[in-house]
Amino acid sequence: EPRKKSSYEIITLTTWLLKQEQVGTIDGEMTIVLSSISTACKQIASLVQRAPISNLTGVQGAVNVQGEDQKKLDVVSNEVFSNCLKSSGRTGVIASEEEDVPVAVEESYSGNYIVVFDPLDGSSNIDAAVSTGSIFGIYSPNDECLADIGDDQNLDQVEQRCIVSVCQPGSNLLAAGYCMYSSSVIFVLTIGTGVYVFTLDPMYGEFVLTQEKVQIPKSGKIYAFNEGNYALWDDKLKSYMDSLKEPGSSGKPYSARYIGSLVGDFHRTLLYGGIYGYPRDKKSKNGKLRLLYECAPMSYIVEQAGGKGSDGHQRILDITPTEIHQRVPLYIGSVDEVEKVEKFLA
């Protein structure tokens, strides 16, 4: 006899995760890793929302492996994420936008999951209090890379082995998600059974299930590209971009929406439909976004919602990274919209 749902039933992320573990979709170790990630996101949300008060706006004064001037919150959110994952005891290796190489986690004593993340996405927006986010992906453990983390084992050799184990195609992802720090704090997660959306209730600091099995509209007339790069794009892409401005049979052209945070632009695209693109250009041969911890997790999520993630020619999830911070062009969103740009680029 299925349990009757009480009229006032709130499903929190914690109870939702325990349910997925109970039915066997995830194991107990993954439950703990995902729970530690949600804790990191709650901590980052509170840091982001009080940044101007706690002197956490502005630059750190260092340049990261990407060649970007790190914001203070880039560094702090990376530490928050790393600490939460390390103390989970179930994370074997972490790879972050803000770490030069993967970090083998000595504290892990079981599970050994591989977690890749962008601790603060859209960080150029932080000083203006525009939406930012965190993006993560989880791969299955790869124990041999962690073998021999003995006392005398030289960690760079371990790190080299771990680079190989981290560089997996997005099709291997077991879970992916993001947290968006915006007018609401929104935690979006897939463990391969559809896309679930949780909203932080600040009254008691829990993520509450607010949308289940999200499906992205098959088409949508909103496009998110940084057209400031138009002059650097190749001709096929220019013709695609020009075509969006023609009124066409519907009499209405597309609308442009671009906030400069992948998480914010993606979340709107997921719910409203449309396309987000970061193409290659004459200056950036492979575009700007990183395959491992931006493009692959977002592509896993969008496919779980019935959408597409492409580099303009192939499925993002089929690309195996050759190095941790590899960049790829990204076109992601409604099937009809991604297929439209792929036709122009063929």
Residues interacting with ligand AHG, by CB under 6 A?
A: 68, 97, 118, 121-124, 226, 260-262, 265, 288
Least distance from ligand AHG to the Cβ atom of residue 64, Å: 9
> What is the C-alpha to C-alpha distance for residues 320 and 326, in angstroms, rounded to an integer?
10
Query: 25: Cβ–Cβ under 8 A, 6 or more apart, which residues?
Result: 191, 192, 193
- Footprint of Mn ion on residues 78-97 (CB under 5 A)? 97
Q: Which is nearer to Mn ion, 75 or 174 (CB)?
A: 75
Least distance from ligand AHG to the Cβ atom of residue 125, Å: 8
Q: Which stretch binds Mn ion (CB under 5 A): 119-127, 172-180, 230-238, 244-252?
A: 119-127
Q: Which is nearer to Mn ion, 63 or 155 (CB)?
A: 63
In 114-272, which residue ranges form alpha helices assigned H by DSSP? 143-146, 155-166, 235-243, 262-272
Q: Which is nearer to ligand AHG, 253 or 260 (CB)?
A: 260
Least distance from Mn ion to the Cβ atom of residue 256, Å: 21
Least distance from ligand AHG to the Cβ atom of residue 262, Å: 4
Least distance from ligand AHG to the Cβ atom of residue 214, Å: 20
Q: Where are the beta strands (DSSP E) in 246-321?
A: 255-256, 275-278, 308-310
Cα end-to-end span (Å), the chain: 55
Among 30, 31, 118, 240, binds Mn ion (CB under 5 A): 118
> What is the C-alpha to C-alpha distance for residues 301 and 295, in angstroms, rounded to an integer?
10
Query: 312: Cβ–Cβ under 8 A, 6 or more apart, which residues?
Result: 279, 280, 329, 331, 341, 342, 345
Q: Does 206 bind Mn ion (CB under 5 A)?
A: no
Q: Which is nearer to Mn ion, 68 or 159 (CB)?
A: 68
Q: Which stretch binds Mn ion (CB under 5 A): 61-69, 155-163, 241-249, 304-312?
A: 61-69
> What is the C-alpha to C-alpha distance for residues 118 and 284, in angstroms, rounded to an integer?
20
Rama region for 280: left / alpha / beta (φ>0; ψ in -120 to 50; rest): beta
**Interacting partner of 337 out of Mn ion, ligand AHG, none (Cβ under 5 to 8 A depending on kind):** none
Among 68, 99, 127, 206, binds Mn ion (CB under 5 A): 68
Strand 255-256 to strand 59-63: parallel, antiparallel, or no bridges (unpaired)? unpaired
- Six token digits for residue 277: 């693109």
**Interacting partner of 260 out of Mn ion, ligand AHG, none (Cβ under 5 to 8 A depending on kind):** ligand AHG
Least distance from ligand AHG to the Cβ atom of residue 135, Å: 8
Q: Does 311 bind Mn ion (CB under 5 A)?
A: no
- What element of type H or E holds 207? strand 206-211
CB 195 within 8 A of CB 321: no
Residues of the shown chain interacting with Mn ion in the complex, contacts defined by CB under 5 A: 68, 97, 118, 120-121
